[in-house]
A and B are shown apart, each in its own frame.
Chain A
């Protein structure tokens, strides 16, 4: 799927990386992402979860039975956790496109 950036140029193959949330765990726990990709958490549990970046730079609320997403633009390794259930942790390895 192509994504459009300012100036009208398209980037090649910005994609959506899906993370399943089930039984109070993120799967995959560690995911490889390219800058500009969308990360989508899909919550299969019956309680709400969040994905909060360890330094609190961003947080995505993922209600029970729903999905939520964020576009990551900076190339770096991001550790995150669920603020409501902090034993749930994950890592996103964001590489430059």
Chain B
């Protein structure tokens, strides 16, 4: 059961859209699926950031997006190196598919926006997205992972992404 605090309109809408996916898969996840979900979540945020880099003219939004590209790409590089070392083949699953589907819908909406409307919507989505991913990491992906090195990488990733969530929240306040 999600414990949802009251949050501003755009963030709330995005949060519910993403959160529905977090509940999509009820069976216990195995390491290959967890690796796939974590990697997919990173790719989604890199793609969103690259759209922001094309469309935004706001210096702080651009700086945030550049950091999203850098951080998520480097975490994904670490993840790829680890699964190769562990001889784990990431396995596609309903959660990953749902994330990708939702991301496509979100990208389609964002692409129609420009200027401050884009900036506000992008950042609101980033807050909601990171809240959802971080909650999934804390409550499911990290606890369900069995390999200690994968668990450690996911835990480090969580700290990084919690920072992203706060950075996005600060930015959302600035853009009001």
Q: Which of B16-72 contact A (CB under 8 A)?
A: 63, 67, 70-71
For A, the interface residue count at a CB cutoff of 8 angstroms equals 13
> Which of A6-14, A33-41, A85-93 lies at the interface with chain B?
A85-93
- Range, interface on chain B: 10 to 19
Check A86 against B156 for contact (C-beta < 8 Å). Answer: no
A83 and B168 alpha carbons, distance in the complex (Å): 10
The residues of A that contact B163 with a CB separation of less than 8 Å are 24, 82, 84-88
Q: Does A32 contact B (CB under 8 A)?
A: no
Check A84 against B167 for contact (C-beta < 8 Å). Answer: yes
The residues of B that contact A83 with a CB separation of less than 8 Å are 63, 167
**Interface residue from B70, B74, B75, B166 paired with A87 (Cβ < 8 Å):** B166
The residues of B that contact A88 with a CB separation of less than 8 Å are 163
The residues of B that contact A85 with a CB separation of less than 8 Å are 159-160, 162-164, 166-167
Check A48 against B78 for contact (C-beta < 8 Å). Answer: no
Q: Which of A48, A84, A87 has the most CB of B within 10 A?
A: A84
A85 and B74 alpha carbons, distance in the complex (Å): 15
The residues of A that contact B167 with a CB separation of less than 8 Å are 83-86
Q: Which of A63-97 contact B (CB under 8 A)?
A: 64, 82-88
The residues of B that contact A64 with a CB separation of less than 8 Å are 74
Q: Does B170 contact A (CB under 8 A)?
A: yes
Residue on A nearest B160 in the bound complex, by CB: A47
A84 and B162 alpha carbons, distance in the complex (Å): 10
**Interface residue from A23, A84, A86, A87 paired with B71 (Cβ < 8 Å):** A84
